[in-house]
């Protein structure tokens, strides 16, 4: 049985950081997770990448959407060679990912940021932009993909590499969580909504346009970025020819969260037995990890 790193954060969260999360809908927490956790994820991910069926190739998806549906894929035409890869729910298959989602400092950190007595694990995901990945990440809102609702839902973004604007760092629309709107989920590499989904139409947001109050962070392994599930965010291409951009995201919900079955959004198996309005309680596919 593996011996895992400490469940304690490297440092305490400051009141300013708690306020930033509440006001901006996102907060950067530098040097808060021990590097041993990052090394654990790094080693596990390298093994996973030997099994390509575990990941979706979003670069190939973009090409298919363009050819079969005529969608305008968001990609920089002068960049070539890299792939945009995505995987989900690795915690169910890998003990290292499970430990990171369940017993690392993350549950206690989000409990403090959201002032929640209980925290439940919704899912994890891996997002990789290899060097020279042309695809941009369309601006989107996480909640539209989730079959839950409530005020205490967030995503924790954990970089496994140094990430900057050049390599496709994520940009967040400041305070976009405050109007409580739920937007239609999109294809991730194109702005068009997934078929059959409900909600508001997403605004057309571009990184670099001054009319948008976007926040972007340079991050390093050991940092976390936590954003509210209603916060709009997106990312650019990886312009680097040698640096990859790998991150593990873990999604949590807390006090007062209930199931909300959203038409058109991808379901997990246990959602078939849930009804809108059912409270989120400890479940093998949505376990309580704090409180």
pLDDT at 1 over 60: no
pLDDT at 109 over 80: yes
Q: How confident is the model at residue 259 (pLDDT cuts 50, 70, 90)?
A: very high
Among 164, 172, 157, 91, CA closest to 127: 157
Strand partners, 193: 186
How far is the CA of 210 from the CAs of 26, 205, 213, 278, in angstroms? 19, 10, 7, 42
> What confidence score (pLDDT) does residue 284 get?
97
All domains of the chain, ordered by start, with CATH?
15-290 (2.60.120.620)
> What confidence score (pLDDT) does residue 210 get?
86
Residues 20-78: pLDDT tens digits? 999 999 999 999 999 999 999 999 999 999 998 999 999 999 999 999 999 999 999 99
- Count CB-CB contacts under 10 A for residue 179: 8
Burial class (CB in 10 A: 0-12, 13-18, 19+), 69: exposed
Question: How would you classify the pairing of strands 137-141 and 232-235?
Answer: antiparallel
Chain centroid, CA 133 distance in Å:
18
- Count CB-CB contacts under 10 A for residue 162: 14
pLDDT at 219 over 80: yes
């Amino acid at each position: 049985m593996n011996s895992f790193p400490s469940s304690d954060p490297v440092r305490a969260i400051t009141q300013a950081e708690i306020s930033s999360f509440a006001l901006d809908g996102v907060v950067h927490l530098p040097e808060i997770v021990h590097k041993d956790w990052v090394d654990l994820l790094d080693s596990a991910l390298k093994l996973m990448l030997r099994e390509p069926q575990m990941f979706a190739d979003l670069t190939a998806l973009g090409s298919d959407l363009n050819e079969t549906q005529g969608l305008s894929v968001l990609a920089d035409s002068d960049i070539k060679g890299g792939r945009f890869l995505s995987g989900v729910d690795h915690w169910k298959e890998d003990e290292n990912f499970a430990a990171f989602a369940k017993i690392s400092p993350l549950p206690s950190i989000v409990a403090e940021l959201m002032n929640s007595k209980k925290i439940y694990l919704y899912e994890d995901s891996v997002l990789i932009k290899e060097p020279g990945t042309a695809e941009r990440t369309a601006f989107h809102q996480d909640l539209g993909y989730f079959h839950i609702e409530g005020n205490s839902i967030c995503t924790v973004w954990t970089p496994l590499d140094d990430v900057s604007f050049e390599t496709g760092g994520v940009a967040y629309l400041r305070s976009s969580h405050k109007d409580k709107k739920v937007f239609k989920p999109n294809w991730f590499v194109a702005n068009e909504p997934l078929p059959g989904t409900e909600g508001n139409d997403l605004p057309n947001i571009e990184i670099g346009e001054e009319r948008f109050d976007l926040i972007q962070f340079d991050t390093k392994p050991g940092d976390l970025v936590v954003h509210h599930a209603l916060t709009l965010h997106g990312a650019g291409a990886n312009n680097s020819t040698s640096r990859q951009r790998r991150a593990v995201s873990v999604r949590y919900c807390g006090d007062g969260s209930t199931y909300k079955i959203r038409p058109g959004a991808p379901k997990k198996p246990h959602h078939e037995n849930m009804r809108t309005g059912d409270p989120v309680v400890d479940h093998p596919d949505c376990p309580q990890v704090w409180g």
